[in-house]
Structure 1
Amino acid sequence: MTEARPKHRLDHIDGLRGLAAFAVLLGHWAEYVGHVTPFRPLGELLTGAFREYFSTGRLGIVAFFCISGFVIPFSFSGPAPIGKFVISRFFRLYPAYWASILLAIVVIPLFTGQIFGSWQVIANLTMVQMLLRAPDILGVYWTLFIELIFYGICLVAFAGRLLHNPRFNLAMMALFLTLALAMGGYRWINPQSDLPVGLPTYLAAMHFGTIARICVLERDPFACRIFWPSALILAAATTTANTLAYLHAKNELVGWVAANTGYLGGLALFLLCALKRWFGGALFAWFGLISYSLYLFHPIFLHMFVGLWPTMPWLVSLAVLTPMLFLGSIGTAALVQRYVEAPSIAIGRAFDQRYRDWISRRAQNA
């Protein structure tokens, strides 16, 4: 069973989503191999390229968030749009997410010895474990919490009839960039601080994605007037905030140059996709279809990679485990999309239809 692809789907947007997921996978592979390989030229090449100068992981995440801003605010449609939105998002996100938790708590202890406590597992099931002060089971889960924050903003904005208003989205983007600059300034003064400067910059990218949609597809005159100034403001303010936050930091996984070039690269790819319709075609579309599961499940194979690496000579590990990581992640993502994501989405649509029928009956009886 596969999810039918509606004719109105934006295939180039799906293609960028697939490219973004693959960029995150590539970045995680390069960062780990660069850290552990005893062959210094390879280690220095990978560490310099992916950690110090250009983070493909950051690129993929920024592209994801811009896409969310381009797509999610326009999921409110039909009768009972708020209920439809909540139902569709729940069945789109949570079943595959829960499947990744289940596989992670079974597989990761076998390869790394890491044990997950009951509270950590229960908290992670909510997707808001950050609020519950429980660590993520898989490192990529933090981005889903940001996604939920954006959903909350969308719900409030829709209720206030502001969601498709370019002025509102410009104001929200400016608000989050101002917050990022303030946090970056604080971290410049306090380099050991772990204030999450990325969070407001990613939320700003989402609101820029909405402005892009209102301009490119809805041809709103005001949105089109502010489109390029908004892009330049987003790039400049984020670069400034990242530089302030990361230049002297000792507790970040990427250097300040990589943080900036990765963000700007993700923004550039989104602009090429939205304006030029790059990343169309069957292969990109297929990767887009499995992108959510690829994003969720590849860290499990990365843990397997980490656990098995020391058991073999490094060159053998590189030759054997690299295909395992990439092919295993992609193959598992395809299976999860087919047997978890697609059925869950279908169940969500059926549930939504029943909900709308119930709303209709209540209206008729009122």
Structure 2
Amino acid sequence: MPPTPSRLAWLDALRGPAALAVALHHSGWTFLPGVWAEVDRRIDVGTWGVFVFFLVSGYIIPASLERRGDLRVFWIGRAFRLLPLLLTALVLALFLSYGGAFALHPGLGVRPLPLVVLGNVTMVQELLGVPAVIDVMWTLSYEMAFYLLAVGLFTTRQAHRSATTAIVLALAAVPLGLLMPGATIKGRADLVAALLGAAVVVVIAVSAGARGRARTAAAVTGGLLSLALVILGSRIGAWQGLTVLAMMFAGTAVYRAEQGTIRWRTAVGAVLTVLACGVFAKDDPGWAPAILLAAGAFAAAFMLRHRPFPRWLAHLGVISFSLYLLHPLLLRVSPNLPLFFLVLVPLCYLTHRLIEAPAQRLGRRLTGPPPRARPGTDR
């Protein structure tokens, strides 16, 4: 049975600290660079936070897709979940840069404006070699790649092979990473980037709007395209890029084991394989402890999932996307570290209430209520 909202408090309890960890990482380098350099040599706190996010997404996104069983509903839900705040943040970043408070990536000024807009609005800019307006948006590109892969597997009725997918991606990451340590799609390959970005839009639109073979073909094409983009376009290299995807599918494998679709030893084997292949993906002493502790935090929260979590922790999880996306903007105008966090959390409660929550309600109205379980069936 897919997770219901009452059973997801443990995921919110992970999201909030993960978002704050990324904010702490960036603020530490901004306000206390000497101290933070010592911390970062031992554990990359930002990497810990984003890998917690990746595991959470891996666990919940396929469950959400399968609960509704409709690609149109899935893509509309994702659009209304992410785009309203993203567009607001992009406009705010441009406004702050115009006022001199926020320095945009220098590459934005030399790339065609339509390409910059296409890359950042579709959230695949990281995989197209297009600079991000807000640096932390790089993780959204891997989230989008995961969505496309998950949709492709769902449409071809291969979604249950999450553990196998995680293992294959992790094992492939090592040789591909050694062969391709940097992105192949980079520099000023504007036409290639534009065509690939447009292809992403087309496969999403067709898979959401078509039926039958056209939908299947679009979903499969999207999955293959996303995999190719991660291998060829990852700015962080194929090893790290595929490790990110493998970690998300490891999160899905945990969900499958919880539902009884696969054995627990299979899910655990997938997680351990991903960790074994991923700890060497980056030559940084803080990398391996970060991803190992991220997996440990996810495992601990999962084992405690039936226990109540502090309400304030769940509330932080609800506003985690605002915390993640807006903290780089606030960081540019905040004069000191304590004030930064005192302003950040209330600001994100406000943006969630005024932007995220209304958009999500509108998305639910457009897609209709979730299907009700019939007596004696799983929901």
The residue aligned with 1:124 is 120
CA shift digits 1:26-48 (9 cap, x unpaired) = 1111122343xxxxxxx1x3201
CA shift digits 1:102-122 (9 cap, x unpaired) = 111112343446356444345
Distance in 2, Cα, partners of 1:237 & 1:133:
25
Segment drifting more, 114-123 vs 23-32: 114-123
Tell me, yes or no, if structure 1 residue 93 matches structure 2 residue 82. yes
* Paired residue type of 1:231: V
Q: Which one of 348, 352, 364 corresponds to residue 337 of structure 1?
A: 352
TM-superposed CA distance for 1:146, in Å, is 0.4
Distance in 2, Cα, partners of 1:279 & 1:183:
43
* Paired residue type of 1:180: A
**CA spacing shift, 1:86–1:187, aligned 2, 3 Å:** closer
TM-superposed CA distance for 1:140, in Å, is 0.6
The residue aligned with 2:38 is 48
Distance in 2, Cα, partners of 1:31 & 1:174:
35
TM-superposed CA distance for 1:179, in Å, is 2.9
Q: 1:123–1:134: 8 Å Cα contact kept in structure 2? A: yes
Distance in 2, Cα, partners of 1:113 & 1:343:
28
Q: Which one of 262, 269, 272 corresponds to residue 229 of structure 1?
A: 269
TM-superposed CA distance for 1:178, in Å, is 2.2
Q: Let me know the Cα RMSD of the aligned residues.
A: 2.6
Q: 2:123–2:140: 8 Å Cα contact kept in structure 1? A: yes
Distance in 2, Cα, partners of 1:58 & 1:158:
29
SS of the residue 2:126 aligns to:
coil
Identity of aligned residues (%): 28
**Any unmatched runs of 5+ in structure 2?**
183-234, 372-379
SS of the residue 1:260 aligns to:
helix
SS of the residue 1:150 aligns to:
helix
CA shift digits 1:226-250 (9 cap, x unpaired) = 13222222221111333xxx2xxxx
**CA spacing shift, 1:188–1:94, aligned 2, 3 Å:** closer
Q: 1:60–1:266: 8 Å Cα contact kept in structure 2? A: yes
Matches within 5 A, 1:91-170: 91-112=80-101, 114=103, 117=109, 118-119=113-114, 120-121=116-117, 123-163=119-159, 165=160, 168-170=161-163
TM-superposed CA distance for 1:202, in Å, is 1.0
TM-superposed CA distance for 1:136, in Å, is 0.4
**CA spacing shift, 1:30–1:16, aligned 2, 3 Å:** same
**CA spacing shift, 1:122–1:160, aligned 2, 3 Å:** closer
Segment drifting more, 269-278 vs 138-147: 269-278
The residue aligned with 1:349 is 364
The residue aligned with 1:182 is 175
Q: Which one of 314, 321, 338 corresponds to residue 292 of structure 1?
A: 321
Q: 1:19–1:288: 8 Å Cα contact kept in structure 2? A: yes
TM-superposed CA distance for 1:269, in Å, is 0.5
**CA spacing shift, 1:102–1:283, aligned 2, 3 Å:** same
Q: Which one of 47, 51, 60 corresponds to residue 58 of structure 1?
A: 47
Q: 2:163–2:267: 8 Å Cα contact kept in structure 1? A: no
Distance in 2, Cα, partners of 1:231 & 1:194:
21
TM-superposed CA distance for 1:274, in Å, is 1.3
* Paired residue type of 1:334: Y
TM-superposed CA distance for 1:263, in Å, is 1.0
The residue aligned with 1:219 is 260
Q: 2:247–2:271: 8 Å Cα contact kept in structure 1? A: no
Return the TM-score normalized by structure 1. 0.77
SS of the residue 1:240 aligns to:
coil
TM-superposed CA distance for 1:329, in Å, is 2.0
Tell me, yes or no, if structure 1 residue 204 matches structure 2 residue 246. yes
Distance in 2, Cα, partners of 1:128 & 1:184:
20
Q: Which one of 325, 329, 333 corresponds to residue 340 of structure 2?
A: 325
Q: 1:68–1:206: 8 Å Cα contact kept in structure 2? A: yes
Matches within 5 A, 1:13-92: 13-35=11-33, 43=34, 45-50=35-40, 52-77=41-66, 81-92=70-81
* Paired residue type of 2:173: A
Count of matched residue positions in the alignment of Structure 1 and Structure 2: 308
Q: 1:20–1:60: 8 Å Cα contact kept in structure 2? A: yes
